[in-house]
Chains A and B, each alone.
Chain A
Amino acid sequence: MSKQAIKNSITLKGSAAIIKEYLNYGVNSILFQRGIYPAESFVPAQQYGLTILVSKDEKIKDFLKNVLSQAEEWLALNKVEKFSMVISNVSTKEVLECWDFRVDSERNDQNKDPNVDPTNPTSSKELKKIQAEIGAVMRQIAATVSYLPLLECICSFDLLIHTLKDCDIPDNWNETENVSIKNSQVVNLKSFSTGLHKLDTVVSYKMTD
């Protein structure tokens, strides 16, 4: 029994928190690496054994905090299917790039253990290992600069959350429609898993010619 106590475990809530953290750093890294906001507005932060540049703009911080805390709530209820970070031209509203973070729930492949409460699944994956996996994805995000086309116009970004139908719409949230990119190219990045959620990162972008 004592073994049970020291065994580290991640609950659904913890898994949601890990994904929230990843999304926060991932979105910030994309904003910096794709040059959407001026480089001066970013400060370096240490995470996943890497230096990740994070926006210091209060408005962006607020926006991400609001969206991601709501996302965390839904994640903990397993109601999220996908996050989309949409990058579009400010003046024409044309969508130029879309980063999809697909969430797959992974609860059925383990937890055959009868001791574990099926309504409250846990994962025994080591946090260090998860963070190393996330670090690898973050590095790939930084490396996409070498093949993604230049965003020459002034661009803005938005975060869409794809949820299940039975999800309530809170205040300040709106239902929108899906975005599509004309003549798009899709690149799959590495994925990572917390043991409860598996996250695939996919970038689709508009081909220039």
Chain B
Amino acid sequence: MSQFNYFNDMSKQLNLDGELKNQIKPRWQRKMDNSINNSSMMNNSKLSISYNSSYVSALANMTVNNPNKTPNKQTYAENASKKKTPNDKKSPGRKTPTPNKNRTPTSKCGGDRFIPNRGATNFELGNYLIKQEQQKQQENNNEKNSDNNIQKSPNDKIRAISEALHGVDITKKRILAYQTKAPAPPEDHLNPLKVVYSTKTPMSMKSGSRYIPTIPERILDAPDIINDYYLNLLDWSSDNIVTVALGQSVYLWNAGTGNIEILFENQGSDHTCSLSWIEEGRTLAVGNSNGAVELWDCVNMKRLRVMNGHSARVGSLSWNSWLISSGSRDGNIIHHDVRQRDHQVGTSNGHSQEICGLKWSLDKKFLASGGNDNIVNVWAAEGTSGTSSTPLHVLNEHQAAVRALAWSPWQSNVLATGGGTADRCIKYWNINNGSCTKTIDTMSQVCSILFSKNYKEIISAHGYANNQLTVWKYPSMVKQVDLTGHTQRVLQLAMSPDGSNVMSAGADETLRLWKCFAEDLTVKTKKSAAKDKTSFLTKQSIR
């Protein structure tokens, strides 16, 4: 029997003209079935199968149509609507292919699509002009007046173009130029500003008369150091302690033992803007972002005093025995007498913008201040009130903010100043008459200058392009050596009390210690020997 059953089935399948038996039953029959079986499971499952297959085919369709895997929203929606099954999860409204579509062009770099940047286009104006033109065309068509059309169009066109390009109606304006033009620069002229922009290999090292190590003795981490040209965040005390402000905290680094201590941490959004040791060491003056000057005892780690007075941050400080002068963003210099209850003894007002450099001369007779207004003021010391109310000299030859200031230890009347990016010069001034005695273009922003105590040399710190420290012979200003290593501009220099080491703080969050002014041992022994000799001689002569 089974073989007959098989045969029957086969013939049913092959016979196309025969009665449809395995197909979906007519409606009346289904109803009857339902009533008989009281269960519609079979039919339902059949339906769902047919839906699934259509969904699969839709997906297949999609992938074939879009080989670059960007689901085309339209075809997807079409396919989705085709299936017509109220399936919540896969309804076209919910599953939005748009984010995917948006992402593809950016993620696929170097794709074949050109995406124009229309940032510079004025759409509204363009739309308006186009609309207007269309309107006009319609009007012209209506009028059918060809003469008028020809007469109108060229002027209109010019006006429309000029309006679109320059925003002004050119027919109402005139642009005039003088016929004889200015002469062109000489053919071989090379823009001297190239140094500001181009990174070159360090300039050839001039072999100086002595050996200067070109690699730093030590590199310390300085995380979060504030990269601000107008702040002074490093100083080295006579007790051999380096203080540096990193982020909101102020740290002390003992250069002898290598001990690191945190002095204090600012609260809230305040931060330290300047640091300066009193000459005797031990007491540190701190300039604040809210305009206060604080005094700290660094042996007992205690704050001694808060002295208010400024309306803006204090970016520079300088001591003159018991007098501390503070330069602020408000352009004022205030002299505080730290011994008195009424500490504010004098104010010097000579800058219109932030003061970023402030230095008392070594003999304490003059105060030099450099500001963001490109001016260096020299003030004469005056009794108890700090300085005179008007500057002795106003030196305005720098073309940029002046932060680097240094007084010569050999001649009390010589001041060295260095300007910022637009200036790049180190200038020497004779303070007795206020004249500039020498100018050297350093090809880079000057951030700091120091005179060496041990040699007749100066060291300057620079920014872009090489971020180097440069040692110069004084007064010839022959370059001795470039000390490179910082990967960003050098913000500040500080010299050790014995004058042999220089510490540089870079915007690359490192402090580097350079042993560039170490005294030559042979010279030293010779000197001491000579001293001995003379003492011996004097002894003899006394006898």
Shortest beta-carbon contacts, A-B, top 5: A35-B191, A35-B193, A63-B182, A59-B183, A150-B197
Residues of A within 8 A of B198 (CB): 150
B170 near A178: Cβ-Cβ < 8 Å: yes
Partner of B175, one of A35, A67, A177: A177
B180 near A63: Cβ-Cβ < 8 Å: yes
A156 near B178: Cβ-Cβ < 8 Å: no
Quick check: is A164 within 8 A (CB to CB) of the other chain? yes
Tell me how far the C-beta of A49 lies from the nearest C-beta in chain B, rounded to whole angstroms.
6
Quick check: is B62 within 8 A (CB to CB) of the other chain? no
- Write the residues of chain A forming the contact surface with B, with a CB cutoff of 8 angstroms: 33-39, 44, 46, 49-51, 57, 59-60, 63-64, 66-67, 70, 81, 84, 90, 132, 136, 139, 142-143, 145-146, 149-152, 154-165, 167, 169, 172-178, 180, 183
User: Please, could you name 16 A-B residue pairs with CB atoms under 8 Å apart, sorted by A?
Assistant: A33-B422, A35-B193, A49-B394, A50-B374, A145-B422, A149-B197, A154-B189, A155-B185, A158-B181, A162-B176, A163-B174, A173-B177, A175-B174, A176-B175, A176-B177, A180-B165
Tell me how far the C-beta of A89 lies from the nearest C-beta in chain B, rounded to whole angstroms.
11
A44 near B397: Cβ-Cβ < 8 Å: yes
- Contact A164 B174, CB 8 Å, known A172-B179, A172-B180: yes
CB-CB nearest in chain B for A39 = B192
Q: Mark B378-401, 1 if CB is under 8 A from A, else 0.
A: 000000000000000010111110
With A and B bound together, what is the CA distance between A202 and B332 in angstroms? Answer: 31
With A and B bound together, what is the CA distance between A146 and B504 in angstroms? Answer: 24
Provide the main secondary structure of the chain A interface: mixed
B422 near A146: Cβ-Cβ < 8 Å: yes
CB-CB nearest in chain B for A179 = B175
Partner of B174, one of A35, A51, A157, A165: A165
CB-CB nearest in chain A for B397 = A51
- Write the residues of chain B forming the contact surface with A, with a CB cutoff of 8 angstroms: 120, 162, 165-166, 170-187, 189, 191-194, 196-198, 352, 373-375, 394, 396-400, 421-423
Residues of B within 8 A of A70 (CB): 178
Looking at A38, A50, A63, A139, the one whose CB has the most chain B CB atoms below 10 A away is: A139
Tell me how far the C-beta of B185 lies from the nearest C-beta in chain A, rounded to whole angstroms.
5
B184 near A162: Cβ-Cβ < 8 Å: no
With A and B bound together, what is the CA distance between A38 and B194 in angstroms? Answer: 12
Tell me how far the C-beta of B77 lies from the nearest C-beta in chain A, rounded to whole angstroms.
39
With A and B bound together, what is the CA distance between A163 and B168 in angstroms? Answer: 12
Provide the main secondary structure of the chain B interface: loop
Tell me how far the C-beta of B226 lies from the nearest C-beta in chain A, rounded to whole angstroms.
19
A150 near B196: Cβ-Cβ < 8 Å: yes
CB-CB nearest in chain B for A80 = B176
Tell me how far the C-beta of B349 lies from the nearest C-beta in chain A, rounded to whole angstroms.
14
A174 near B181: Cβ-Cβ < 8 Å: no
Partner of A156, one of B184, B194, B373: B184
Tell me how far the C-beta of A80 lies from the nearest C-beta in chain B, rounded to whole angstroms.
10
B178 near A173: Cβ-Cβ < 8 Å: yes
B182 near A51: Cβ-Cβ < 8 Å: no
With A and B bound together, what is the CA distance between A63 and B181 in angstroms? Answer: 7
Tell me how far the C-beta of A30 lies from the nearest C-beta in chain B, rounded to whole angstroms.
12
A156 near B185: Cβ-Cβ < 8 Å: yes
B175 near A57: Cβ-Cβ < 8 Å: no
Partner of B421, one of A64, A132, A146, A174: A146
Residues of B within 8 A of A63 (CB): 178, 180-183
CB-CB nearest in chain B for A32 = B399
Tell me how far the C-beta of B164 lies from the nearest C-beta in chain A, rounded to whole angstroms.
11
Tell me how far the C-beta of A161 lies from the nearest C-beta in chain B, rounded to whole angstroms.
5
CB-CB nearest in chain B for A53 = B399
B174 near A143: Cβ-Cβ < 8 Å: no
Residues of B within 8 A of A164 (CB): 172-174
With A and B bound together, what is the CA distance between A164 and B168 in angstroms? Answer: 12
CB-CB nearest in chain A for B401 = A143
With A and B bound together, what is the CA distance between A178 and B162 in angstroms? Answer: 9
Extra A-B contacts (10), CB below 8 Å, given A150-B198, A177-B175: A44-B397, A51-B396, A84-B175, A149-B197, A150-B193, A150-B194, A156-B183, A158-B177, A163-B175, A172-B178
Partner of A66, one of B172, B178, B192: B178
CB-CB nearest in chain A for B187 = A154
With A and B bound together, what is the CA distance between A177 and B170 in angstroms? Answer: 9
Tell me how far the C-beta of A20 lies from the nearest C-beta in chain B, rounded to whole angstroms.
14
Tell me how far the C-beta of A97 lies from the nearest C-beta in chain B, rounded to whole angstroms.
12
Residues of A within 8 A of B177 (CB): 158-161, 173-174, 176
